[in-house]
Structure 1
Amino acid sequence: MKWKSRGAGGGDSKKSGESNGDDSKKGGESNGDDSKKGGGDVPLSVHLDMTEYRVDGSNGRSWLGTGGGSTSFYEPSREQTPGSGSGHDRSGTTPSSGRDPPEKRLTLFALRLAVLEKAASGLGKLAFAWATVVLLGGFASSLRIRDFWFVTIILVGEGARVFSRSHELEWQQHATSTSTAGSALRSSSRFFRHIVHAIRDPAGAAAGDGRAAQFQRQVVAFVKQRTWHAPEVSLLPYTGWVFVSRKIGRLLNLLQLLSALTCVALSLMRLWTNHDFGDESVEEKKNMRPALLLFYALAFLEATLFLMEKAYWSWKMSARNLLHKVSSDCGLGEYGHVSLTRFFYDAYSRCIAGSIFDGIKMDLVTFAEDLILSDFLDEQLIGVRILQSFVASDRSARDTLRKVGTSHRSVERLVEMLDWKRADEEEVRKCAAEVVSRLASKRQNVLRVSGIPGAIESVMSLLYTGRNDAPPVSGTHPQQLQLREHEASPSPATNSGYEYLPFNLLGLQILKRLARDQDNCGKMGNARGLLAKIIDFTHASPELLGNPYASELQIRAVKRALRLVKMLVYATGQTGKALRREVAENVFSVSNLRGILKHGQQHRHLQKLATDVLTGLAMDEKGTAAIVGTGGVVKLLLSLFLASEPPPEEETIDLGCEAGEALAMLALESGKGCAAILKRSDVIDRLVEALQDKRRLNAARVLRNLCAYSGTEHRERLLVAGITKALPSVLKATMTESDKVLEVSIGLTTEICTFIDGDRFAAELRAAGIENRAYVERLASVLKQYRSAPEISVPRMRRFVVQQLIWLVTTSPGGYVEMLKEVGMERLLENVADTTSELECYHVFSGSVGIGKHREDFAEIVESAMELLLSSGGAAGAQE
């Protein structure tokens, strides 16, 4: 809406933009969908080298050497569709580093284990069939007693192992370390250590690293569950922990090892002593020896393959520490081992149950999506932690966000998690909020997130503060500040110590990213109580603003709230109009902004945002009335803009330009705004002085609006105050400057000319060292430059030039008509008449929507100028 389309274009990243911690610029918004290498059967890679992923658009301000500001709110901006032009959705693809995703090592390991397992199972089934059909079926009565029992033992043991392998894996899966409390509920020894530690040192246990609290939290969570947790189910009554399901997997695994070792031992014994298999001279027994040798060989090979599988398993898992290495490469942190163990068992089970290639099609993102849809809190936490780690990684963020964003069920569950308010669900909620924030940073996901019913309300729940008053100011000593920041970090939540500020920051960030879409701005305005909550976060007490040790988190909350309000008031069309009025009607809006302007000298970035919001509010009559009606706001803006000796820092100068823009908007078509500005006695002199430096663009705008809209009651004061003293500077700018400064200089000249006559104007031209003809030629050159069509960057240029021509002709017809004709003004006016546009009929623009239509139609002004030029020329000829 403003000159950068700031309402719909994003977070308006300036030089004072938020840090990575605020907007999470890594893994944010580069939104280029890079094609993966490989065929369609290759699972989605989640570990790629990627381009930088940013959150806020780089719509940075362009310093004009003439104006010292940005482009103007008098300039319309073309609306951009999502994915075009803003840099949020497109990025150059980066060449692949050739490095595979870390979890592919686990799926490859599962594939190799499955090859050994299926080979062993195949041999076992063959041995089982051979023994039952050939040996026991054909030679049962002829077998020696030793071979009969050896075959029977091997057959029973190996047959049970082969046919129970899938069930053993099922028990192993159920026994997988799925609890996020560091296996506190799974390890009885660790459980008792917790108890002993708590008994010996209650204070230390309570003030430890949070594991005891986490343990207690999970116990409460499991007690509250309406369904059984599989690893903790007791299979038989009155047996306690002995027959719980998590023990069965270990027992089956041990029995299978014993079975394999027994099979190897028995097979080797009979293969080593193979001379007493029976009397081969008997016709019925001549095939017994090769049959037994084949069976023992098959049994030996099958058991050996199984033992090789177990040895390979132990070597990779224990000696090579595969899980820990993959966890480190994935960046899963402290709980990576738990997550990857569960992932590995799922992949291995798929390889065993189906094709050996089923497991290699798995990836951690899909695995995490399945877990967040679980009914168990510990599994949900594993899944959301994996997603949170991946979306925060430079290499995996883009693919992860793309895959999660296209899964409606996953996005819906993540949004649902934002509304979970139980103390034991704090970490799940926080991780989900971070993932949703990253999702919303990509434009193609914005509508997917906001399209979920109740999504805005779920995000709104993150803004709950837990108290009616504002958060207290942090400690005034650096040590107290560090303590506060430590408390604000993720920690086990209890009913008495729930940390709200991190959730508030995430909620504001999600809303800010959603607000890039105009429809979402409308939804936020319609959500009951949301706008009031956002405005509450813009309150910053003088103690907070003036405290050099103030909490960075609290300052960041104010900053994000201001950014969000700014995006809402700069929204375009009817949505923006309604939002500006709603914000203006909130009795705390302008007073909160006034507090920041008054006490925020240590936080210039907050003052810039506050002046931006005031500029947006001033585009509506109610907003102007609210600003003027709040005492001291206009005075503060004037102080910022007219600082007598502005510091050389670029940031401070930019703040003055922002204040000038707000003042220019307040004075636009508002008699009350002009009256409030003119209350300062030296305002005209100071504005005239500002025409000489980088503030001249906005100073000229304010002066022009004061002359045009202050009303008849203030015209005498403007004349007495010396408004005409601005003419020399303005006329020089007309002859030398271009673009916006030229546009506003011609417009200001036209308004000042209403206070003087032709002779005075001629004198001012001579005083500025400008000849009448040179001035006329300059006006003609401007029309020649823009004769084909109006320019978007200076939509009022031709209007101001034609208005000045009318004044010249009506004031001194004999002196200027001939010169105007000589420079071809008649033909130029005809070209202007043929190319007039609706673009030239408005004062300012909200995106591509005009606001504040001029009282006179531009086409009528051009026709009047042509008629005056013709009639004045005829009158001059008759006099001759």
Structure 2
Amino acid sequence: MDKESSIQSVHLSIDNLTPPQLTSNSAIFDPQSSIETAASSSNTPTGTRSRQPNRAPEKRLTLFALRLAVLEKAATGLGTLGFIWATVVLLGGFAITIDKTDFWFITIILLIEGTRIFSRSHELEWQHQATWSLADAGVNSFRAVKTQSHVVVRACKAIFRVNSVGKQSSPVRKLKQKERSWVKKKTLSRTWTSSDVPILPYGQWVFLSRNISRLLYWLQLASALACVVLSLIKLILRNYGTIEKGDTDKRNRKSALTIFYALALAEALMFLVEKAYWEWKVIYKKILDRVSTECELGPVGLVSVRRFFYDAYSKCVNGSIFDGLKMDLVSFAMELLDSDSVDEQLIGVRILEKFTKNPSFSEDTLQKIGITITVIERLVEMLNWKDPQEEEIRKSSAQILAKLASKKLNALRVAGIPGAMESISSLLQVHRISSTVSYCGEISRKEVLGDKDDYGYWAFNELGLQILKKLARDHENCGKIGNTKGLLAKIIDFTRVSERQLKDERVTESQILTVKRSLQVVKMLVSTTGNTGRQLREEISEVVFTVSHIRDILRYGDKHPMLQKLGIEILTSLALEVDATERIGGTGGVLKELLIIFFKRTMPEDQNHVRIAAGEALGMLAFESKNNCHRILKLKVLDNLVDGLNHPLLRINSAKILRNLCIYSGPECFQQLRGVINAAPTILMEIMTEENKLQEMMVGLASQVLKYMTSEEASDMFKIARIQEADLAMALVQILKKYPQPQTKIPRIRRYVVELAIWMMKDSRMNIQIFKNLGLEQELEGITETTSEVESFNIFSGAIGLSRYKMSIHSLVETAMNLLTNDLGD
């Protein structure tokens, strides 16, 4: 009978690299629910939202920008009013009559204010421009812009710091080296960096765009201070000239001049208050540093926070003062992803990466990214960027997508983007010496990667496998992974691990992580249900290195039981396909290694799950495979399997293997299997004393083992077990009474009971009368009225039955009823 090609869809926890373990009471033959629980779609605790009172630290910056904008617009309004008053009232109406001193004071103040307003209107633009370059992050700080005296202090510190460079901490040195490397890489660009543009051909240092904002800043301060001094002088002295009696043209001059000087003073003071507030919050209160720290953006976070603040402040000044309040760091970062500037793209992905990893911000951040398809498309596109200058952007994008795929709905959105699987596949790239050598001999990590300092291939490989692992939780995504050209071969390639690496005690878990993740992805793919699962299992089994890589893990991976368990579970799922079953059995040493693990008594108790998994795999490989049954028998493990029936850990799987050997080995192995009758007393005792799964397996095995016995041997067997045939008959009838309906956990127990009852009635006519007296006929009638499809299959994949029995349960019941009826007629 051909095998169907579906198996239970296994869903792994997205935050745990360890797949679920099989217990002693679980089996692949059991029907499992294919309905995914709602809890699997999200791993974020419900209490996450209340863990941090201030879940948006950048709100301090938007409020700060609002207040600055209020002061700025107030100062601008007063300046505009003063300018109108001077031009219309004073210079227009009193230009001839005002005193010469006042005329020049007013003119100078207007020129100063005009200069300040012009400087102010352009300072923000130049300051904003200065934040576009990450290379100048250390130069274009607020401290450099605001306090020129700090330059002298920094210069003095730099002199003393020369002697202590070697004492810098390693993280600091690495950060500086990384920034210098970034600057060096940027020089290869064919476009100008905005902060390095020479405005004039001479005096380039003075006229660099990054220095213009400083010049404008000090020009504003000087203008405001001059305006305060001049206005105060005139308001204190009030020497507006003498007014002769009867001179009506000059009677309002004093009041007009007082109003003008008061407006000029108020506007200048308002501006100075704004600057003082700016200095207080930025330099002394360190609001930018505090927000960067609270957002946990890391050493380069200040660059991102500064750029965000300038954008918010620009919106408040140039538009409504409330426009900046609508900004947040996540939306700001998503906007930067669409920029053509590498610096801006890097700022954007850095913010999103940090926020998606931060438990306080990850939920909201992932939700916002998940509903913005254009952002997901941009992140997927970045996975294809292989330019060394864009390595950090590519890596951050992969990390963001790995987090995004943790939620099922977001995973569907990622996989639904055209070309997404191809982009993820581009992350799985290992530079091997040659395609032939890659599978032959030992290749060191450095030989495989080439110069690993040039590009982080292993980091991208792990991220690619992590994304695929999370996407593979969905059935449709598994199909897309399988349909992506070359992707399955890449995944299987990463399951290869050398004997040296597996046996080396110095190998850390991180060095095995890539192999572990690749095995997890393969396991999830081969566990897919339906036609998609059949196609995936066929394609994966056809890759010539799949089984051999797993065999090496089984043979040398004693120190890595989780790798062994994953490999075994892959074999178990592949065994649902007839061709794959033969490939596995035909690969030298696979069955032998499984049996060694299954019978390995020296294995620690915490690794018993590996032995259980090995038993499950052996049971599946022996199922409906005559060749594999013969291969197992050639290994001379029949006695070990019989002994395994007495071992609490092994008895269920030993019973499965023995039953399959008895059914599928063929008549030519009859004499070789005669040794199984030694297990008969143990089987009978287990039937009488155990319940549930173990009882089901023992009843099923008994109906096959008794076929190898003569009537005399069967009689002796009952005596050895100290059990009467009537007692066994009563136990079987009680089982039918206990389970009047089909059971999902033990769906075959009623079928096995009927099979054993038929053998007993055929073996002895006395048993027919015993079953009649016990009311077997009534119970058989109950079976015909309650039977369901769940009793018609050997194995199950979720709610889907696989490998239908050749003889239906109705036929078995009819045979048993005929035995009872014919005897009655006699």
Q: Same fold (TM over 0.5)?
A: yes
Tell whether the 8 Å contact from 2:17 to 2:517 is kept in structure 1 after alignment. no
1 CA distance for matches of 2:94 and 2:442? 91
CA distance in 2, matches of 1:805, 1:570: 36
Residue of structure 2 aligned with 1:276, choices 240, 248, 251: 240
Choose from 460, 476, 485 the match for 1:519: 476
- Alpha-carbon distance in structure 1 between the residues aligned to 2:389 and 2:235: 61
Q: What is the deviation of 1:509?
A: 0.9
Report 1:487-506 matches (<5 A).
497-506=454-463
Kindly, what percent of the aligned residue pairs are identical?
45
Deviation string for 1:246-277 (max 9, x for gaps)?
22222222222122111111111111112435
Task: Tell me if structure 2 keeps the 8 A contact 1:642–1:687.
Answer: no
Contact persistence 1:277–1:288 (CA under 8 A): no
Residue 352 of structure 1 corresponds to which residue in structure 2?
317
Alpha-carbon distance in structure 2 between the residues aligned to 1:142 and 1:222 = 63
Superposition pairs of residues 791-810 of structure 1, within 5 angstroms: 791-810=743-762
- In 1: Cα distance, 2:549 partner to 2:786 partner: 46
> Is 1:659 paired with 2:610?
no
Query: Distance in 1 between the 2:215 and 2:266 partners?
Result: 24
Residues 181, 218 of structure 1: 8 Å contact kept: no
Q: Does 1:408 align with 2:409?
A: no
Give the match for residue 71 of structure 2: 116
Alignment partner of 1:161 out of 116, 120, 133 = 116
| 2:40 counterpart letter in structure 1 | S
Does 1:779 find its partner at 2:732?
yes
Helix, strand or coil at the partner of 1:754: helix
Shift of 1:288: 2.1
Aligned pair partner of 1:76 in 19, 31, 48: 31
Matched with 2:554 is 597
**Distance (whole Å) between structure 2 residues aligned to residue 275 and residue 220 of structure 1:** 62
Give per-residue Cα distances to partners, 1:150-193, cap 9 Å, x unaligned.
222222332453466443312211112641575479999999x9
Partner of 2:384: 419
In the other structure, the counterpart of 2:194 is: 230
Residue range with higher mean Cα deviation, 791-800 or 302-311: 791-800
Q: Which one of the candidate residues 398, 403, 406 is aligned to 1:441?
A: 406
Moved more, 225-234 or 103-112: 225-234
Q: Which residue of 2 aligns with 1:739?
A: 692
Alpha-carbon spacing, 1:624–1:464, altered in 2? closer, same or farther (3 Å): same
CA contact (8 A) 1:569 1:616 kept: yes
Change (3 A) 1:778 1:247: same
Q: Whole-Å Cα distance in 1 between the matches of residues 558 and 503 of structure 2?
A: 8
Given that 1:279 and 1:285 are in contact with CA atoms closer than 8 Å, whether structure 2 keeps it comes out as: yes
Residue deviations 1:11-61 (CA, integer Å, cap 9, x gap): 3x6xxxxxxxxxxxxxxx5xxxxxxxxxxxxxxxxxxxxxxxx3569x744
Secondary structure of the residue that 2:26 maps to in structure 1? coil
Q: Does structure 1 residue 640 correspond to structure 2 residue 632?
A: no
Q: Could you tell me whether the CA contact under 8 Å between 1:474 and 1:551 is conserved in 2?
A: no
Q: Which amino acid aligns with 2:809?
A: F
What is the aligned counterpart of 2:533 among 544, 568, 576? 576
Alpha-carbon deviations, 1:555-575, whole Å to 9, x = none? Answer: 111111111111111111111
1:478-526 per-residue CA deviation (whole Å, 9 max, x = no partner) reads xxx9xx9xx99xxxx9897223111111111111111111112112212
What CA distance in whole angstroms lies between the structure 2 residues aligned with 1:513 and 1:343? 32
Q: Which residue of 1 aligns with 2:586?
A: 629
Residue pair 2:598, 2:614 contacting (<8 A) in 1 also: yes
* 1:175 corresponds to which of 130, 136, 143: 130
In structure 1, C-alpha distance between the alignment counterparts of 2:346 and 2:750, rounded to whole Å = 63
Distance in structure 2 (CA, Å) of the matches to 1:834 and 1:689: 38
Q: Does 1:251 align with 2:215?
A: yes
Residue range with higher mean Cα deviation, 315-324 or 630-639: 315-324
Q: Distance in 2 between matches of 1:147 and 1:455?
A: 73
The secondary structure found in structure 2 opposite 1:334 is coil
Q: CA deviation at 1:85?
A: 4.5
Preserved CA contact (<8 Å) 1:178 1:338: no
1:86 aligns with 2:37: no
Tell me which residue corresponds to 1:392.
357
Q: 1:746, 1:800 within 8 Å by CA — same for their partners in 2?
A: yes
Deviation per residue, 1:837-864 (Å, 9 max, x gap):
2222222223333322222223333333
Quick check: 2:119–2:217 contact (8 Å CA) kept in 1? no
User: In the aligned structure 2, how far is the partner of 1:426 from the partner of 1:739?
Assistant: 57
Q: Could you say what secondary structure the match of 2:803 adopts?
A: strand
Alpha-carbon distance between aligned partners in 2 of 1:222 and 1:849, rounded to the nearest angstrom = 58
The answer to whether the 8 Å contact 2:377/2:417 transfers is: yes
- The alignment status of 1:610 with 2:567, answered yes or no, reads yes
Change (3 A) 1:91 1:760: farther
Structure 1 residue 757: Cα displacement:
4.3
Q: What's the RMSD between the two structures over aligned residues?
A: 3.4
Counterpart check, 1:140 vs 2:95: yes
Contact 1:7 1:566 (8 Å CA) reproduced? no
Q: CA-to-partner distance for each residue in 1:727-759, whole Å, 9 max, x for gaps? A: 222222222222211211111111112212455
Question: How many residues are paired up?
Answer: 802
Aligned to 2:3: none
Change in 2 beyond 3 A, CA 1:319/1:473? farther
- Structure 1: segments with no counterpart, 5+ residues: 14-28, 30-53, 64-68, 476-480, 876-880
CA contact (8 A) 1:692 1:729 kept: no
What is the distance in 2 between the residues matched to 1:823 and 1:360? 83
TM-score normalized with structure 2 length: 0.90
Give the direction of change, closer, same or farther, for the CA distance of 1:561–1:178 in structure 2 (3 Å limit).
same
Alpha-carbon separation, structure 1, partners of 2:25 and 2:317: 64
TM-score by length of 1: 0.85
Q: For the residues of structure 1 that align with 2:753 and 2:46, how far apart are their CA atoms? A: 45
1:867 offset after TM fit, Å? 3.6
Indicate how the Cα distance of structure 1 residues 613 and 600 shifts in structure 2: closer, same or farther if over 3 A, else same.
Answer: same
Shift of residue 315, structure 1, vs aligned partner: 1.5
Deviation (angstroms), 1:245? 2.6
In 2 relative to 1, CA 184–123 (structure 1 residues): closer, same or farther, beyond 3 Å? closer
Letter in 1 for 2:565: K
2:84 to 117, 129, 141: 129
TM-fit CA distance, 1:331: 1.2
Q: For residues 211 and 181 of structure 1, what CA distance do their matches in structure 2 show?
A: 14
Alpha-carbon distance between aligned partners in 2 of 1:793 and 1:333, rounded to the nearest angstrom: 52
Letter in 1 for 2:796: F
- Aligned CA distance change for structure 1 residues 84 and 495 (closer, same or farther; 3 Å): closer
The answer to whether the 8 A contact 2:405-2:470 is kept is yes
- SS for the counterpart of 2:802 is strand
The answer to whether residue 662 in structure 2 is matched with residue 698 in structure 1 is no
Deviates more, 1:396-405 or 1:726-735: 726-735
Deviation of 1:7 (Å): 5.7
- Residue 769, structure 1, aligned to residue 722, structure 2: yes
Q: Which is richer in helix?
A: 2
Do 2:48 and 2:359's aligned partners in 1 also have CA atoms closer than 8 Å?
Answer: no
Contact 1:535 1:589 in 2 (8 A): yes
Contact 2:75/2:268, CA 8 A, preserved across alignment: yes
Check 1:353–1:213 CA distance in 2 against 1; reply closer, same or farther (3 A cut): same
Hey, what does 1:725 align to over in structure 2?
Answer: 678
CA distance 1:89–1:781, change in 2 (3 Å): farther
Partner of 2:148: none
Residue in structure 2 matched with residue 507 of structure 1 by the alignment: 464
Q: In structure 2, which of residues 307, 316, 335 is the aligned counterpart of residue 370 of structure 1? A: 335
CA distance in 2, matches of 1:696, 1:797: 17
CA contact (8 A) 1:7 1:569 kept: no
Change beyond 3 A, Cα 1:61–1:311: same
Question: What is the letter of the counterpart of residue 349 of structure 1?
Answer: S
Pair 1:650 & 2:601 matched: no
Which amino acid counterpart does residue 345 of structure 1 have in structure 2?
Answer: Y
1:455 equivalent in structure 2: 420
CA distance in 2, matches of 1:171, 1:454: 40
Equivalent-residue separation in structure 1 for 2:573 and 2:132 (angstroms)? 55
CA distances 1:422-448 after superposition (whole Å, capped 9, x unpaired) = 112211111111111111111111111
